[in-house]
Amino acid sequence: MGSAKRIALLGPPGAGKGTLAKRMIETWGLEHLSTGDILRDEVARGTDLGLKAKGAMDAGELVSDDIIINMIRGRIESASQGFLLDGFPRTVAQAEALADISELDAVISIALSRDEVVARLTARRVCGQCGRIYNLAFQPPADPTVCDACGGDLTQRDDDKEEVISNRYDVYAESTAPLIDFYRGHGILHEVDGSKGSAIVFEAVTELLG
């Protein structure tokens, strides 16, 4: 993969970041740095940062940038084979703080329209019995109301309703647009069309990163 070893991945909900991240990590041996996973791990291990984060979450507050950045700092410093940031940075302020820790070689932004995001996520169904997840558009069960695996009822989660997804998209677009401009200005932003399907998206990223 050329010389690109320090990569950040951006994209709205439902854009396929998780699938792309998995393939990039398997292919290039990068350390996967997902802020959600790191946060849960620090809390579970009871580290100083984890205890501070848990205190904020228990109080119903957002975990501060300082805590998140310090968690990321330690993981970046130990990622000798390179890293893939997933879910961070989310704002220009976070991007500027990240620049003090490590430079990035590339930022991959998966572009997907609001209509496509809504179509993908409203088609998601979850089995209430075994927890298996289906998508009526991409991975449909034989019966859209019944789980193939266990026969349980398939339902739509509240956070997969159209109005909720539209709001999540708007929040993402509003907070991330300045971030995309920030990295475009630094000449390291690469945009890919997320509507093309995971295999084509991965091929495009492979070409971009050489």
Active-site pick, 22, 23, 73, 168: 168
* Active-site annotation holds for 124: yes
Catalytic residue among 5, 6, 120, 124: 124
What pLDDT score does 4 carry?
A: 59
State the CATH architecture for 6-30+81-113+167-209.
3-Layer(aba) Sandwich (3.40)
DSSP state of 195: G
Average pLDDT over residues 106-124: 95
> Rounded to an integer, what distance in angstroms lies between the CA atom of residue 78 and that of residue 85?
14
pLDDT-derived band at 3 (thresholds 50, 70, 90) equals low
Give the mean model confidence (pLDDT) for residues 128-132: 95
DSSP state letters, 136-173: TTTB--SBTTB-TTT-PBEE--GGGSHHHHHHHHHHHH
User: What's the pTM?
Assistant: 0.83
Would you call 157 a catalytic residue per the annotation?
Answer: yes
Dump pLDDT digits (tens) for 85-105: 998 998 899 999 999 999 999
Give residue-wise pLDDT tens across range 162-183.
999 999 899 888 888 899 999 9
Domain ranges in the chain? Answer: 6-30+81-113+167-209
* Identified catalytic residue from 23, 54, 90, 132: 90
- Note if 75 is an active site residue: no
